[in-house]
Structures are given as C-alpha cells and as structure tokens.
Chains A and B, each alone.
Chain A
Amino acid sequence: MLDLILTQTLNGLASASSLFLVASGLSIIFGVTRIVNFAHGSLYMLGAYLGWTLVAWLGPASPLGFWGGVVLAALLVAGIGALIEIAILRRIYPAPELFQLLATFGVVLMIQDIALAVWGPEDKLGPRAPGFRSFVILFDSRFPSYELLLIAIGPAVLALLWFLFRKTRWGTLVRAATQDREMVGALGVNQRLLFTSVFAFGAGLAGLGGALQLPREAATLHMDLSMIAEVFVVVVVGGLGSVAGAYLAAVLIGVLHAFGILIFPKITLVLVFLVMAVVLVVKPYGLLGRRPAGQPRATAVEPLLRPADRATKRAGLLALLLLAALPLAAPDSLLLILTELLIFTLFAASLHFMMGPGGLASFGHAAYFGLGAYGAALAVKWLGAPMEPALLFAPFLAGIAGVVFGWFCVRLSGVYLAMLTLAFAQIAWATAFQWVELTGGDNGILGVWPSAWAVSKTAFYYLALAICAACVLLLRVMIFSPLGYGLRAARDNALRAEAIGIDTMRVQWAAFAIAALAAGVAGGLFAFFKGSVFPTYLAIPRSVDALLMVLLGGVQTVSGPIVGAFAYAGLSEQLAKLTLYWRFALGLAIVLLVMLFPRGLVGGFLAWRERLGPGAGAR
C-alpha cells in the first residue's frame, strides 16, 4: 500500500512538470501584459508537434537528436510567440480585457487548423528519450526513468526562473513591470521590446512543456484545450502572476489526478473541483496570489441603457410577426435553420444578461446550455419522461449548476471570473464525457424526440419561437427591472452599490442563476430539436459561439445578442461552406473584428449614428 502511494505521488509529480511549465509561462505573460493568453495551450500543442517533427528529423536515437529537437521546438515556439505578440497583441493592449481574451481565442482557432493542415488528424506517437527508456525499480515496482527526469525538471525550471527574475536585469524589469507597468515605462524602459520578449519567453516555456511531454503521450489536436483548462485551474489555485504558486498548484493538481485515477477515476474531476472551491473560498486570489494591486481596474464609463424607443419596438414586433408568418411560405430546410437560430438567440441573450448588465463575462456558458440539453435527454432516457416535463427539467438542472458554480464565480471578477467559468465548463464537459454509464459518453444519448404534436418541422418551429421569444422578452424586462438596475449598479460601481444597501454579490449570483436557467431552456429545446445530445454541447467551442454572438452584437446594447446571433450563425455557416479550414477563417475574423470593432456591431452602429447626428446623442 505504501509503495503504491509513493509511486502515485511520483506519477503526479511527473505530470505536474509540464503543467507547471505552461502555467508559469501564462502567469509571467499575464503579470507583465495583463493579458490572459488563451492560446497558451495551443503553443503547448505546437511545442509537442514541432518536437515530434524535429526529433524525427534530427534522429530520435541519438541524445543530441532528441534533446536538440526538444530545445529547438521550444525556441521555435518562442519565435511564434514573438510573432503573435507583434502582429496581434501589441495592437490590442488598450482594448477591454474581454476582447483581448477573445482575440487570443481567435489565435487558438487559427492554430488548430494550422496544426491540422500541417500534421493531419492522426495522433502523433512521440519518440522515447534516449538514455531514459528503461525502468527504475522503486518500492518494488517499475518506474519509467523518464518520469524521474520530468520530476527533476519542474524544480529545476523553478530554480532557473527564480535566478532569472532575481539576478538578471531582464528579470528585474519583468518583476518591476508586473508591479507597475506605467512606472517602468516612465523610467525609459523600452516597453515594446520587454513585452515581446516576455511573451516569447512564456511561449517558449509552453513549447518546452509540450515537447517534453512527447515521450509520455501522443501529440493530438485536442491537447490545446484540455491543457488550457487545466492550466487555468492551476493558475486560479496557485495565484495568477505567482510562479511559485503555479508550481505548488501544479503539484497539487498533478498528485490529485494521480490518486484520483487510482482510486476512482470518475471522482477525479470532482476532487479537483473541491480543491479549487476550498482554495477560492479561503484565498480568493489563489494560494500565493495577491489581490490585483491598485484600482480594481479603471471602471469603464458604460453607455446609458435606455428602453427601446418606438421605432425599435415596432421593428421588433414586425420581425416577430414575420417569423410567425414564415412557415406559410418557407420550405422545411429554412425552418430548420431558423429553429436553430432562435435557440441560439436565446442562448446568446442568456449570456448577455450576465455579461452586459452584469459585467460577468462567462467563458463557459455552454455548460448551462449543455446541462439543459442533458437534463432533457436524461429525463427522457432514465425517467421515460415525455417532452413537456423534460423541457422543464432542462432549466432545472442547468439552474442548479448555475447556483452552485455561480456561488464561486461571483466571488471573482474580470479574467479570474473568465478562467473559473471556463474551468467549470470543462469539468461539466468531462463529466458528460467520462460518466459513460449515465450519459453514454462520447456516443451521447439518442432518441430524444419531441411529443407527437411537435414532431413536424412547422410545429417545432412554433414551439421554439414561442419559448425563445418569451424568454428573450422576459430577460429584457428583467434588464429594466430593479434587479437589472441593481445588477448594473454592481457593475458600474460596487463601492457605491454597497453603500446604498445593495448586496452586490447576491445580485450577481441571482443573475448568474437566471442566465444559467435561460441557457438551460435553450439547451433543452436544442436536445429535442436534434433528437440527441453529445458532450460537444458543453464543450469550449460552444461557449465561444455564445461569446461571439454577444460581442458581435455589442455587449452594452439590449438588442445586440439578437442581431449577433443571426450574424454569427450566418457567418459561420457561410465559412463552413466556403472552406474546409473554417476554424482558421473564423479565428482570423475574430481577431480582425476585435481590432476593428471593439464595441461590437450594434455598438459600432450606435457610435456611428451618434457621430452623424450630434443632436441625437445630446438630448
């Protein structure tokens, strides 16, 4: 028993090393540039793929070939990082942090397709490291010697980083910039060079982590997102900006995983979740993290939110009538597309409710959409429920998740909130994926069909239209209710809101739960629309769909999500038709959009109208 514990501890430590390399890179970059680099997992993936190619090319048999390949891969990734910084990030440092996150997600999509084009869809089995192919007998069991090497690399890199940050001029500058960027700039340091070099350095660490992982596991196209979710957990637990915290958390999570898999695989995620929860309750900024210094972010002056004027109301009514009359003329294929669009509009509106008035940007909203879908499907499969009660069960399950996850999330704000929502969504996804007995795992749940009266395309279209329109209008009413105002008050100025008796955290918690409920309704409808549910319903790309719809329409407008949903769905559909590499095109579109329209489409339109007619804005 004791030797089992020891070997599992060693296993955990070995897997912690790569995690630490990627997490520390992310942390260092965040410290200086204040950007959470979503694409860090992608850089890790690139490190693995490049390592695979380079090692094969240099000769995997010789130590020089292997290690040379690993180091070269890390250097190449560092170079790619520098390119990304110069081409994209440099231009968006002044943008709102949400848009920065989104732009880096655009990079994720682009790298995914680049990797697919270069290396193909098959997994690439890595070479084993020369000199480290044997086993070491430890505690009566065989232990791969490469794992021992990895265990040593973690602390070695930690020590190296410590030396770099304490003893070199560059490291001192990085630390200084982490504490006070403006001051470092005022002192005449070349900021551009510093930022680029920091980004390249962080990227290199991720690349190294990926290349070193090769002998342990194959390089796959999924390793980017699974890594970034784990890294977010590590960074949230360890404290953003703290390298030592990243190591501590990586070890904690690595060991936890190793034991979880040994004892009961399904509970691993719950275990990770619980550890994260406890840490966040006791230390909201992580084990070794500190409350972000200075102002809690220069509170942006948000535009006024006014109820729709008569023209907008009329346009809305007209659109609704048009949608209601459509089945008389439209073919079934168009009805199918529109049904899906309606469902996504509700999904986008639900995210907008917490993100716009609430200022709570969720990067994992698909969790509630997906749980809604699973709620409906599980009710059908296990309870034999017909459609009507199943549709009620959908928001119920999503709402419970919203209440539980939301309780943690509203304790954080900004990028911390974004990372935590993403981590929760990943946990929900992994649960659906792994709990095969309940959810069917990857095969999903099939045969989720509507009741007889709603089977026809037209009938289901009307059902979706009625439910979605009602929910979207209800969310609108809430935005202009005292609760919605209180939510905006908490976002605009929490200090003032608390000073006039508003419990800001509870208001935000309620908004989180309401948004989850509404997303659950959309998810339930989607399950019956498709007739099946799959884990992809809760996956990160689906969360990003919602984010894009909201941002495309403009966060600080009430009609934004509706316009955004239609625009986005149209855009992605066209892209998918036009090119095989639609992810690349979409990623590029996102990046360009962030650079050109930082206020979204409707926001940009309103700003344009304001510029045209000075009388309209001044009143």
Chain B
Amino acid sequence: MMQFTCPHCGPRDQAEFIYERTVDAVVSLDAAPEDAMKTLFTRNNPRGVDEEIWRHTYGCRAWMVIARNRVTNEISATRAVGPEALP
C-alpha cells in the first residue's frame, strides 16, 4: 500500500485518502460549454506522472495535489490547496 504525506498530518496510509480527479479536470465556472465538456469528460490519462487531487477524507479532510507516477506509484510532489495554502 502507498503512503501519502498529508501537508497537515504527515505520512498516512493511502487508505485514508480518496482520489478526486486531475488538476486539469476542474471545470471553471465561466468555461464555454465545449471547454467545460472537454474538461469534465476527458483526461490525459498518461502512463507516467500526472497531478492529481486527493482528499484526506478519513483524516483532516483537506484537499491536496499529489504528483504521482501511475506506473511506479512514485510521488514527486505534494502540496496543499484551499484557503489555508494561500500565502
């Protein structure tokens, strides 16, 4: 099983986290219908690294972005998102 490092709670089992979608799949509220459709329904789905949004659902419930290699499961970066991550 993988271990993620939550920006708030430190290293935790992956079982505590739920995957949401990739960073580029978040539909902006003012997107044109065609763009919204593409963002909503399609994914790069690379055989390599993608930036994924995960939530520490069974922990602090915070959202975070994790850059993970989808073949090796190697995690290259984790960052918090949301108001608390603002400078």
Chains A and B belong together in one complex: no
